[in-house]
Amino acid sequence: FTLAEVLITLGIIGVVAAMTMPTLIQNYRNTVLHNQFKKGYSNLSKAFLMLKEELGTSDIRTNYATWDAANKVYPNSQELYNAFYKIIGTRQKVGHYKIYNYTKDEFWTSNCGTGCPQPLYLLEDGSSINMFLNSSSIYFDVDTNGPYKGPNRYGFDVFTFEVGSNDAIVPKKMTRLYTDEELENETWPMLSGVPCSIKSSQQANGIGCSYYALNDINPDDNTKTYWKNLPW
């Protein structure tokens, strides 16, 4: 081979590499996030089974998420929190940090109030989690790689689960996609329909992505997979 031929060949290889490298990197990132999600979901499910055994009940929602309207409290909530965080193995509280929604608009930030659903407690493996009670239901927010690794986005590495009527961990799922006009008449437009779609402009977009992530179904096109089509 002449020097010119070698240089031309190297040039062609460089162009092809430049074209394919971003796709390879993105596919790798998606695979890592998928594996972290499966691990986080598995850890939460196991911890919840241990929690039921620890508390000696098969109906956690009734015993620990029943609202006392007269005193405006969940009477047994502290016992529930203490038992869960002991079982899951929290290391420390990390506080509020910035999390983005599914379409990368800002969602919760470090200055939001105590009612923000955020994965506030750091675990041994670097992930973080938070359990909170609302509307007589028990919810979990999980950041599968924790606050110190990106992308810190709902539907990517941050997911919401709840305790279902069967007293088991259930992934949140979008119930309906609202238009901007329809949202104007909603009491809680940010959360209406539990959004998870590239078509949604809602601030809480991504809250309803856990079901699609678990079943690897794209919320906007069920002929595509979830993890290979994340809207980076």
Give the count of beta carbons closer than 10 Å to the beta carbon of residue 231. 13
For range 196-225, the mean pLDDT: 97
pLDDT of residue 114: 47
Give 141-162 pLDDT, tens digit per residue: 999 999 999 899 999 999 999 9
pLDDT of residue 91: 84
What is the widest separation between alpha-carbon atoms in the chain? 89
Distance CA 193, CA 199 (A): 13
pLDDT of residue 111: 52
pLDDT of residue 15: 77
Give 11-56 pLDDT, tens digit per residue: 777 777 676 667 778 899 999 999 999 999 999 999 999 999 999 9
DSSP letters for 15-75: HHHHHHHHHHHHHHHHHHHHHHHHHHHHHHHHHHHHHHHHHT-S-HHHHHS--BTTTTB-T
What does the block give as tokens for 162?
A: 């709840």
Global pTM value: 0.89
Give 66-80 pLDDT, tens digit per residue: 999 999 999 999 999
